Structure 1
């Protein structure tokens, strides 16, 4: 299997050689290699650092160190400077094979520090450093879906695909909600202090391992955090709830690790009319020096007394949700109407900008301990339509322009705050990849008859089917051609770099000839055996194709 990313990266690097210097290839723990920020730019080794990166959420969980090393070597050869991956792998039962990082079951959580646990993250960073590649670790995921529309949303998903094959099959927020939640709603991850205490314990166990290692680029609090998810959310979830969680947890991370940057991982949704926790004026006050905070000791076992104490302490800093009535649109639970309509006529700006996702990326970015901004672009899964625009582009040129507009909007929002910005995930499904395409809130491919003009009231499609819309339908079929994908990526890379985005990361890297084994991220081809052979990396619709 080849990656489509390599030729694209070479083209972009060639066109922007002065803007995207390759990081100095040095090894060890030289403090100058820590990524920092100054005047809205990343600084590495005393110089401005702009990068082309990629996503490989499965990378730490491959079956051999040699496989990880080979994938990183190919990335380095293609000009990749930063790889984004999952630093979480939550399970409800301990698997017989493969890697797992945390067991969430029977009212408690157990962190795996073994060779098939957190030590896999150690090995990834070690090997990445050998290739001069930084690792951007995400600490949890917004998505952990049910299997079908009739399944209990509080039951973990099941799929015939290998464990950890899908990006949403690593646990995440809803794994905590299912086990520790009271109302079992997605927003409890942000507001329930028992859940907060378990998540902070896991976060500390991971973050504390790399405090003095410069090859961790940054800590991302979550992938695509928002009010709505696989599990329904409460009526009271809004942008303030999500922003406050970011402020609290980013402060927690910086108290453990003052050396690394912290980012949100949000998708870049905004809400100009929503109330702000961190308004642009006056400028936010700097947080207290982390050096003045009490040093945290290694995570002790979670006792009931300690848990009760943590909950009581954390509750003091919780935000009071704004009462409102919730809405459910086409099977998706979204933020409350109060968040969406804080100003009359707000709905005219479209769902990406009206607060209905519960995300105000600029307010999050302005939190004192959030070091840089993040945003994503997945036109097959989200609507980015503005006033007077169709829900989805109906031709290729409109699709490309929509992406450019989205990039420029997020760049302007970040520049107003004065912090760097990264496009942490950029994906567009091709016709060849559409049969493998599985949306982040699903476990199975969408029906072949789904298009961007599908009638949401149609009785021929189930509620779960409608969760998959909109899907890009250009050229009268699902997905774009390989050539169109390359042209779109080139245009979006150029737009991002010209607008001042500091890093662009494709989603996702493709790899082949990987060691496979039953019960792991790369399974043996013969079901029910322990045959070891070769197989490809996961492809949920965005990977490289042969």
Structure 2
């Protein structure tokens, strides 16, 4: 893949660089992070960081556990945490949610959704922002999810478009867009004066299809469906919040004129991360005027199970290094900061062996932010250290949810990789 990275990238950037250049206000309030070329800036000083993900923080109902988590995160030198600004349920799920003290912000029924601003509603997100500020941590807040987890785009589709609708109508149906914007406006207006918000994020991992609903033929490579939605929604957020940064939340898939290929079952297939099949066009999306910085994700094991098997010559490590380089080069040419926002490997040995090279490559290529998925907290006390949330997520014996990618504080060999990187980023911010 390495040779193809730069040839294909240069070809595709010819289109991307014709997109509008970024605009940013010169009168950003004190304490708000902004951009300065390919870097972030805080009150006139560079702001480079190591961050992490914790979707489950607003699910905690024990305030001491929230503070303990932020205290441990801050002690590791981590400056930014990404968390969900959405938690939605169907009305039929309400009794269950109340029985387990589950945080939820939206309740969907036949007429749309109602907002929960109560003690297990947005007051939980309020408290997460309050606690983050105490520990000098900033938050990336995501508005909805491409996937079923915690009530994402498919709830809008199911309730407002009805049976038989495809996932991608979320990006085009006026009624759905209006409903999404109503929720976004609620969240943005609630926190738009807070410097604790690092950035708003339009959607977690937008694709033409979800894990429940398929895509229509209209959402095809080159259709621009996601890119036009990114443009519309980033313009909308900017219209109600002139100061906070905005990003997509996407996985960073490319739409290259000459996408990478590989052999599978004696057939040469194009790589979905480079042929536009997922829906994104990273270069074009990054050029949008109100997308202030680029983000991308990386789950090589999950994406290529047909290549990653014992005895194959597929290298998870090398593929990741090329993916990092491709995004760094794109961001450099477009002239905006780049953040690897999620990445993960299952298996402690894999993390120990491969994370050092991946993290070092991000540092060498001047990533403004490096964020791993996900933070693992120990010694949580909620419900005696055992509390179900939803799906398979739970606090078990005091440990936060473990999806196999989770890095816990007692895994010191891996955690040290990030604390050392945080020290490097702190030096760059001096």
TM-score (norm 1): 0.62
Deviation at 1:395, TM superposition (A): 6.4
Q: Of 153, 156, 165, which residue of structure 2 is paired with 1:173?
A: 153
Partner of 1:366: 287
Deviation at 1:512, TM superposition (A): 2.3
Is the CA contact 2:205–2:250 (under 8 Å) kept in the aligned structure 1?
yes
Listed one character per residue, the Cα deviations across residues 290-320 of structure 1 (whole Å, up to 9, x for unaligned) are: xxxxxxxxxxxxxxxxxxxxxxxxxxxxxxx
Distance 1:523 1:113 in 2: 22
User: Which entry has the higher C-alpha Rg, 1 or 2?
Assistant: 1
Is the CA contact 1:411–1:501 (under 8 Å) kept in the aligned structure 2?
yes
Is the CA contact 2:248–2:295 (under 8 Å) kept in the aligned structure 1?
yes
Is the CA contact 2:61–2:120 (under 8 Å) kept in the aligned structure 1?
no
Q: Of 271, 274, 298, which residue of structure 2 is paired with 1:350?
A: 271
Distance 1:401 1:413 in 2: 19
Distance 1:521 1:499 in 2: 41
Partner of 2:359: 493
Partner of 2:375: 509
- Aligned-residue RMSD, C-alpha: 2.5
1:384-463 equivalence runs, <5 A: 391-392=307-308, 398-430=315-347
Richer in strand (by share):
2
Cα gap change, 1:396 to 1:523, in 2 (>3 Å): farther
Distance 1:403 1:135 in 2: 26
Deviation at 1:533, TM superposition (A): 9.7
Partner of 1:197: 178
Distance 2:386 2:181 in 1: 26
Distance 1:377 1:410 in 2: 11
Distance 2:313 2:361 in 1: 16
Is the CA contact 2:90–2:107 (under 8 Å) kept in the aligned structure 1?
yes
> Does residue 1:256 correspond to 2:240, yes or no?
yes
SS of the residue corresponding to residue 514 of structure 1 reads coil
Specify every segment of 5 or more residues in structure 1 that has no aligned partner in the other structure, as ranges: 1-29, 145-167, 275-329, 331-346, 385-389, 431-481, 525-531
Distance 1:78 1:195 in 2: 41
Q: Of 35, 56, 69, which residue of structure 2 is paired with 1:71?
A: 69
1:241-320 equivalence runs, <5 A: 241-273=225-257
SS of the residue corresponding to residue 297 of structure 2 reads strand
Deviation at 1:241, TM superposition (A): 0.6
SS of the residue corresponding to residue 492 of structure 1 reads helix
1:54-93 equivalence runs, <5 A: 54-93=52-91
Partner of 1:109: 113
Q: Of 189, 207, 214, which residue of structure 2 is paired with 1:232?
A: 214
Cα gap change, 1:272 to 1:533, in 2 (>3 Å): closer
Is the CA contact 1:516–1:523 (under 8 Å) kept in the aligned structure 2?
no
Is the CA contact 1:63–1:517 (under 8 Å) kept in the aligned structure 2?
no
Is the CA contact 1:51–1:504 (under 8 Å) kept in the aligned structure 2?
yes
Q: Of 46, 49, 53, which residue of structure 2 is paired with 1:48?
A: 46
Distance 1:397 1:78 in 2: 33
Is the CA contact 1:374–1:423 (under 8 Å) kept in the aligned structure 2?
yes
Deviation at 1:32, TM superposition (A): 2.5
Distance 2:291 2:356 in 1: 29
Between Structure 1 and Structure 2, how many residues are aligned? Answer: 358
